[in-house]
Structure 1
């Protein structure tokens, strides 16, 4: 009797790569910082800047890819979105901000719209050859483009913090990278993931479609970005309105920035962080709502894969993608 051949099961997909990236990268960054402080070897500064600026963005891209990627998102496309879209977004935003923005109370609104628009344009350029798009593809690629933007931007901030009038300030560099690393997951990657998800939901085929839902999402994301950037200025203004002393008001009327009391400085810091927290919560809740309505493996949320193949196929082929996302 001939033995029946049982095919070997496919290898299990490796997961939790993001945790290995985070732990190994964090170890290397800390080791480089310590060696640099001990030896004073400035040749190690670029290593600190690169590791500190790219560690958190790359970690979150790996985390998102493990949980949300589909057949349409390849590693090559992911790499292109991170590097190409990240660099193009930074370059486009820098040029437009220089040409269009002037110091004014509305400057942060323009800043948010320009940077989000530059990232979306770069995302569309990277994904231009995709023949089929799903909302989850847009979420992952949008987050990747946003994190690429954040990584290159953080490298610039780190270098600016490093150079001071007294020479190289390694402590300021380390503090800047720690702060931006902690805030990165709640900024560029989050906002571009939201607009990417909605844009890809409206553009399931080869043709890009800008619907009212896409425009409304872009406006909302740009406002979140603007509020994030303006949080410190808003905190200063509110604190001065509520607690300013007579001599401070005289200096403000004269166009001078008065010295703050200790209580005012603490109040500004508290309100600044509270503002960032509120913007972050709004963005995270928005993304979670979109995630709950994203199709899984080509089937809208609520359907069961092959249980209703004809219905799933029809809805996956609809021009508007997931109507619950696109509106």
Structure 2
């Protein structure tokens, strides 16, 4: 006779932690062997392991916290891969045709990418019978992390090619940086949108409500600030410590070369800005998560026939 597994037992085993530790070990081993042998055939393994390790780990962590039985491993895998690939492809097409170098470039990127991920999430989850806010956040995170994984793979592959030839060190540095920043990027923003999208959980269809539009615009703004933070930090540095000749170049539309001291201040402001933007997103996510009502168990949806006691069912 099979015995039921206690809910806490699954969490104590922490499969997400095993995924991360084993994946990290394989990635480090791949880095070492690639550097020792110089075998270019290992580059795809290096890129894929490094790009997918953190996103897959966080999706596994989020899956343990699902609110209903509607969220299956198959659905998580589908949203991660399908949502991620469709999001990257659609965003690439739209950005190529609609965006041009301008002050509003980063805001346009945020609006397009968050819009594409939101549409992908709504399409892939349209057949769910119960739409729990927390499940929406988990599925949103899955789409976002899938987008981040495929996008990081592209950045890592591009970093391989430099003016001085192929650079494995650039690949490793790119994957480490994007791996560290992945939890407070695409996955975070789309998780917020997923929670808001699933808010009218009693309806069979999604509604384009004022709250959803406001969340979409807010998340897109955070996305734009994140992407443009390097430029914002540089401009702030020049405004605070700029010299007359640098102001002269700025007035003519040129970006002057910063001094060593200005570079240090710019880096500090860059990271401080990223921490501020990510902090706003994390607080928003936590408030949405803790205020979300827990989904009722399946038997709560059964209707008791009129005139008959519940015990008769």
SS at match of 1:259: coil
1:127 aligns to what?
A: 125
2:205 aligns to what?
A: 207
2:293 aligns to what?
A: 295
Give CA deviations for 1:216-268 in whole Å, capped at 9, x if unaligned: 11111111111111111110111111111122233334444322211100011
- 1:9 is displaced (CA, Å) by 3.3
Closer, same or farther: CA 102–204 of 1 in aligned 2, 3 Å: farther
1:147 aligns to what?
A: 145
2:29 aligns to what?
A: 31
Trace 1:216-235 onto structure 2 (pairs within 5 A).
216-235=214-233
Of 96, 99, 109, the residue aligned with 1:98 is 96
Task: Please say if 1:276 is aligned against 2:270.
Answer: no
Cα distance between partner residues in 2 of 1:177 and 1:166: 20
2:311 aligns to what?
A: none
Cα distance between partner residues in 1 of 2:252 and 2:194: 46
What TM-score, normalized by structure 1, do the two folds share?
A: 0.87
Q: Kindly tell me the number of residue pairs found equivalent between the two proteins.
A: 299
Of 179, 182, 194, the residue aligned with 2:180 is 182
2:57 aligns to what?
A: 59
- 1:35 is displaced (CA, Å) by 0.8
Task: Please say if 1:9 is aligned against 2:3.
Answer: yes
Cα distance between partner residues in 1 of 2:257 and 2:275: 27
- 1:108 is displaced (CA, Å) by 1.3
- 1:83 is displaced (CA, Å) by 0.3
1:249 aligns to what?
A: 247
- 1:192 is displaced (CA, Å) by 0.3
What TM-score, normalized by structure 2, do the two folds share?
A: 0.91
Task: Please say if 1:68 is aligned against 2:83.
Answer: no
1:318 aligns to what?
A: none
SS at match of 1:202: coil
- 1:160 is displaced (CA, Å) by 1.1
Q: Which runs of 4+ in 1 moved over 4 A?
A: none
1:193 aligns to what?
A: 191
Closer, same or farther: CA 33–69 of 1 in aligned 2, 3 Å: farther
Consecutive unaligned residues in structure 2, runs of 5 or more: 304-313
* Contact 2:114/2:220 (8 A) holds in 1: yes
Closer, same or farther: CA 78–69 of 1 in aligned 2, 3 Å: farther
* Contact 1:134/1:200 (8 A) holds in 2: yes
Consecutive unaligned residues in structure 1, runs of 5 or more: 1-6, 300-304, 314-327
1:325 aligns to what?
A: none
* Contact 2:83/2:147 (8 A) holds in 1: yes
- 1:20 is displaced (CA, Å) by 0.3
